[in-house]
Structure 1
């Protein structure tokens, strides 16, 4: 019984560490801002080694701003650092900072 608890506790700890890895800052370029709906489109910058992939830009994502004031500091074409969460199928920006 004690071994099973130990294994489940270890699995839970690994799961928590893995989920925090997805909270890392991402980088990208703002392509569109919709202030009426509090949404922003960001073209994610690809990461990895040079020549390690097909090249080109990363995925274009649309995010809901956690706070409408976040969108006031950026404009289309700006390069940004951001953090987002995905809850109930909605991607929400939790941090947005102009580079």
Structure 2
């Protein structure tokens, strides 16, 4: 019985650890709006997988993690960013100009 509990606990730990890694994504795109008052940045994501593909669709708004500097980016800047999805809220945790 104790052996089964140990296996279950180990499996639960691995599942929780892996699910956190899956929720983090690194992406590229173009800044379309910076809203410092609301703590959000809108980014039009680069379309991947097509030759000559351009950014398509509408921009998506992301919450910005505390500590990121808003004045470092402006609309039109191409960026690489990392997003964490926690409870349906997408938050930028890393943002770099290309």
TM-score, normalising length: structure 1: 0.71
Cα shift readout 1:8-65 (whole Å, capped 9, x = no counterpart): 4224304422431332322111111112222110112233x337xxx86366321122
Contact map agreement 1:35 1:68 (CA 8 A) in 2: no
Q: How does 1:14-53 map to 2 (within 5 A)?
A: 14-47=15-48, 49-50=49-50
Distance 1:56 1:71, change over 3 A: closer
Contact map agreement 1:44 1:60 (CA 8 A) in 2: yes
Contact map agreement 1:25 1:83 (CA 8 A) in 2: yes
Q: Secondary structure, in 3 states, of the residue corresponding to 2:25?
A: coil
Distance 1:12 1:68, change over 3 A: closer
For structure 1, list consecutive stretches of 5 or more residues without a partner in the other structure: none
Give the distance between the partners of 2:39 and 2:56, measured in 1 at CA: 24
Q: How does 1:3-18 map to 2 (within 5 A)?
A: 3-18=4-19
For structure 2, list consecutive stretches of 5 or more residues without a partner in the other structure: none
Determine the structure 2 residue equivalent to 1:64: 63
Aligned pair count reads: 95
1:86 pairs with 2:79 = no
